[in-house]
Amino acid sequence: MSIIKDAKQLAQGLVQGAVAKAVALAPDSWVPGGEPDPLIRMRHGHVGKPVSRIDGPQKVAGKATFAAEFPMEGLAYAAIAHSTIAKGRLVAVATEAAEAAPGVVLVMTHHNAPRLKPPPVFMSSQKAAAGDDLPVLQDDRIHWNGQPVAVVLAETQEQADHAKSLLRFSYEAEPSVTDFAEAEARGTAQSEFQGEALHDAVGDAEEALAGARFKIDADYSSPRHNHNPIELHAVTLAWQGDVLRIHDAQQVLAHAAWTLAQVFDMPEDKVVVTSPFVGGGFGSKTLWQHQILAAAAAKLAGRPVRLVLSREGVYRVVGGRSQTEQRVALGADAEGRLEAIIHTGVTVKTAHNAMPEPFILPTRSAYAAKTLLLDVQEVELDMLSNTFMRAPGEAVGTFALESAMDELAHEIGLDPIELRIRNEPEKDPISGLPFSSRNIVEAWRAGAERFGWSRRNPVPGAVRDGEWLVGMGCATATYPYYRMPGGAARLTLTQDGNVSVDLAVHEMGMGTSTVHTQVLADRLGVPMENVAFNYGDSRLPGVIMAGGSQQTAAIGASLIAVCDKLVGELLALAGNDSPIAGLAADAVVARDGGLAKRDDPQRHETFASILQRAQRQSVVVEATPASPLETMHWSMHSHGAMFCEARVNAVTGEIRIARFLGSFDCGRILNPKTAASQFRGGIIMGLGLALMEETQFDERNGRVMNPNLSDYHVPVHLDVPVIEVMWTDIPDPHTPMGARGIGEIGITGTGAAVANAVFNASGRRVRDLPITLDKLL
Ligand code: MOS
């Protein structure tokens, strides 16, 4: 059995390897993005303008309905009880008191829960969306401390919460592994990410390090992090006939619908998930046990259910970022050119998911070095599955790499920006592919100028303002360009010149609906008011996630495909009496609200005129874009130059961030207003990673000890200084609209920029996140 599976995997691997090689060597014109998107050249349209959010008025008026706010007739409210052991058996549950409590509708445990199939875990297939593949309330087994063990439904939330407090559980604990060091001592295993080993080697890096003129060899660590979107994970749902109707807070709509259909063993189209607004996701708004539990309870009770996780519930049920221990060793010659980069270490995952923290990802394409050794090992603990959390890999990987680069610059006595520029690679150091577009040097120069980097005193601890030691630090930010398979869009054009487009995509506050309304208006040459962008519903086309900072690229490519199809369709309808009669599809473009000859815009007919003559009220087209082969042909990454000014109190060790600047190279910026907000949000989350975020995990029993926002600290307004953002705005010639994703890059590099500023201010090098004041005394 396993040999057959291995052979099959090997064969698949060989095919994939061969495809990757062929795509790498193919002429540019054969690859998606080989011909630049014509929209890149359009300079006077809506794209690039700071258009305010089209959903803004709805939001400020309180008229944007979130998952926990949808009204349903006869709603019951749910509360979840969580296990208090890490591993073992649930021996008994005393439910009588809870069942007798006022307003209680149902107490559901593994004894009476409907029979369900285990949910397919993320990345096990294209539409799998679950955080783990454990059965949900199907048996007496406990897999983590905090696992849901019962659900109470009642007429009000307060009654459900009260009744839950009356439940009594008896457990039989079994030995569990919840201590990182203990697990590490037993041995580690090669970590994989998206089916590939997290391991790269070029030359003999250890040998090159040993012989290098300058070297740094240091250990860095980062703690567990929990997701804390301000909107709690929530679901309002009902069984309506044979349809499961769910209002969810989702960033993977089509995936969630398919995965729920597997769990409840029903046709995919009978699960309808909608999610018009999401109050922040960051990788957490996927499918966890709470949606499954709510649907199961609703089925059992025969009533619609609302389940809103408490803040503690989010910590117990929704995974976060797992901890890392990283070694970064850098060897450089007398001029500061890197001869060796070693970035290795250990992270944590569970037996039932596939998401180790891939912290070497940023190092793969960061610098030219003669030799590289990158490796992630993992240990398994009995704990809640960890998951994607804003820039998984890059967020904490850049902390280690970019701290080490600062240490090396200090060792050599070279300006840290100069060290980075000196090691700028000409092609991808691992894959050897050319970069699609890489203008990091421009970002560094412009950022340094704006920030006043030349005023920095390179001597640590040399600048003092009363009690405060003042310093500046910098670091590189980086995040890959992704475009995942699964794009699709449907477009309806009506005789009155209105266009509506349907895709199962997401608005988590990034400005998606606004930006793509701008894009479509430009692509068809119609006013923004004539464009309706419909999204947030699993019944719409596409399997597109708002993740990996790829939604904009996936939507962009889908809109290109559907507009191309529209042109073909209209050309067929235009007939012989049209000014564009007789033209081939590739000689025609959509512009000015109609079709025109590509090189002769005078030959033009409006959409309305074409439809009228053809006696058509509307045209509907649906299309899918070409497979995203471009990322096998070019090395595609965004970059940023991050600058921080920190003040460290010489008496108390208190750290204040005085100023921050992010100078980005992310391709063309589609909307400066929403983009600036994305960049700043990422940087603020990076300040939290640098200075305060830490899940306190009791290694004796696997329990999260600070599952609330008073003990788990995130930045508040007083922690956040003025954050300036700027960008090169140089289009990537090989992406839709010339844009690359911007959602995650802000959190990358920020931790190191802070650590490097703290070092410059105080002379203290903190390699263990978060940088709290006790580490500076
Ligand atoms: Mo992001 S961690 O891909 O939502």
Instruction: Specify the ligand 1 atom closest to the Cα of 285.
Output: 4
- In whole angstroms, what is the distance from residue 668 CA to residue 269 CA? 37
How long a stretch of residues is the chain?
777
Average pLDDT of the residues in 99-114: 98
According to DSSP, residue 103 is labeled T
What local confidence, expressed as pLDDT, does residue 2 receive? 39
- In whole angstroms, what is the distance from residue 29 CA to residue 612 CA? 37
Ligand 1 pocket test: which of 282, 357, 483 has the largest number of ligand atoms within 8 Å of its C-beta? 282
Average pLDDT of the residues in 331-336: 98
What local confidence, expressed as pLDDT, does residue 711 receive? 97
Ligand 1 pocket test: which of 225, 505, 744, 745 has the largest number of ligand atoms within 8 Å of its C-beta? 744
Catalytic residue among 357, 407, 724, 744: 744
What residues have CB less than 8 Å from 183, skipping those under 6 apart?
177, 348, 379, 380, 381
Phi-psi region of 466 (alpha: psi -120 to 50; beta: other; left: phi over 0): left
Is the confidence at residue 3, as pLDDT, over 50? no
Is the confidence at residue 260, as pLDDT, over 90? yes
Residue 413: name the closest of 368, 445, 461, 459 by CA: 459
Instruction: Specify the ligand 1 atom closest to the Cα of 283.
Output: 4
Lowest mean pLDDT segment, chosen from 5-19, 255-269, 374-388, 575-589? 5-19
Radius of gyration of the chain (CA): 27
Distance (angstroms) between ligand 1 centre and the Cα of 43 equals: 31
Tens digit of each residue's pLDDT (9 = 90 or more) over 459-501: 999 999 999 999 999 999 999 999 999 999 999 999 999 999 9
Residues pairing with 619 in the sheet: 493
Instruction: Specify the ligand 1 atom closest to the Cα of 391.
Output: 2
Tokens of 653: 């060790």
Distance (angstroms) between ligand 1 centre and the Cα of 681 equals: 13
Residue 522: name the closest of 433, 589, 598, 450 by CA: 589
Instruction: Specify the ligand 1 atom closest to the Cα of 548.
Output: 3
Buried b (16+ CB within 10 A) or exposed e, 146-162: bbbbbbbbbbeeebbeb
What local confidence, expressed as pLDDT, does residue 263 receive? 98
Average pLDDT of the residues in 527-551: 97
What local confidence, expressed as pLDDT, does residue 6 receive? 53
Distance (angstroms) between ligand 1 centre and the Cα of 743 equals: 8
Tens digit of each residue's pLDDT (9 = 90 or more) over 748-763: 999 999 999 999 999 9
Ligand 1 pocket test: which of 390, 507, 689 has the largest number of ligand atoms within 8 Å of its C-beta? 390
Residue with CA at minimum distance from ligand 1 atom 4: 283
Residue 562: name the closest of 508, 471, 490 by CA: 490
Q: Confidence class of residue 354 from pLDDT cuts 50, 70 and 90? A: confident
What local confidence, expressed as pLDDT, does residue 5 receive? 45
Is the confidence at residue 16, as pLDDT, over 80? no
Residue where the block lists tokens 């060793």: 329
Is the confidence at residue 1, as pLDDT, over 90? no
Tens digit of each residue's pLDDT (9 = 90 or more) over 214-258: 999 999 999 999 999 999 999 999 999 999 999 999 999 999 999
Tens digit of each residue's pLDDT (9 = 90 or more) over 58-95: 999 999 999 999 999 999 999 999 999 999 999 999 99
Q: What is the DSSP string of 555-573?
A: HHHHHHHHHHHHHHHHHHH
Average pLDDT of the residues in 560-566: 96
- In whole angstroms, what is the distance from residue 622 CA to residue 489 CA? 6
Residue 397: name the closest of 760, 766, 756, 750 by CA: 750
Q: How many alpha carbons lie under 13 Å from residue 484 in its C-beta half-sphere?
A: 17
Distance (angstroms) between ligand 1 centre and the Cα of 174 equals: 34
- Cβ burial of 115 (10 Å; 0-12, 13-18, 19+) is exposed
Is 744 among the catalytic positions? yes
Taking the alpha carbons at both ends of the chain, their separation in whole angstroms is 58
Question: For residues 193 and 300, is the Cβ–Cβ distance under 8 A?
Answer: no
Q: Is the dihedral of CA 555, 559, 565, 570 positive or negative?
A: positive
Ligand 1 pocket residues where CB is under 6 Å? 251, 281-283, 388-390, 392, 547-548, 744
Is the confidence at residue 355, as pLDDT, over 60? yes
- In whole angstroms, what is the distance from residue 616 CA to residue 594 CA? 15
Question: For residues 89 and 141, is the Cβ–Cβ distance under 8 A?
Answer: yes
Residue 403: name the closest of 662, 756, 660, 772 by CA: 756
- Cβ burial of 100 (10 Å; 0-12, 13-18, 19+) is exposed
Amino acid identity, position 136: V
Distance (angstroms) between ligand 1 centre and the Cα of 547 equals: 4
Question: For residues 550 and 73, is the Cβ–Cβ distance under 8 A?
Answer: no
Q: To the nearest whole number, what is the mean pLDDT of the chain? A: 96
Average pLDDT of the residues in 130-142: 97
Distance (angstroms) between ligand 1 centre and the Cα of 390 equals: 5
- In whole angstroms, what is the distance from residue 258 CA to residue 272 CA? 9
The neighbour count for residue 131, using CB atoms within 10 Å, is 25
Instruction: Specify the ligand 1 atom closest to the Cα of 281.
Output: 4
What are the CA-CA distances from residue 675 to residues 58, 533, 671, 682, 688 (Å)? 20, 19, 6, 11, 20
- In whole angstroms, what is the distance from residue 607 CA to residue 744 CA? 39
What local confidence, expressed as pLDDT, does residue 13 receive? 61
Is the confidence at residue 323, as pLDDT, over 60? yes
> Model pTM?
0.96
Residue 759 sits at φ, ψ, to 5 deg, of -65, -45
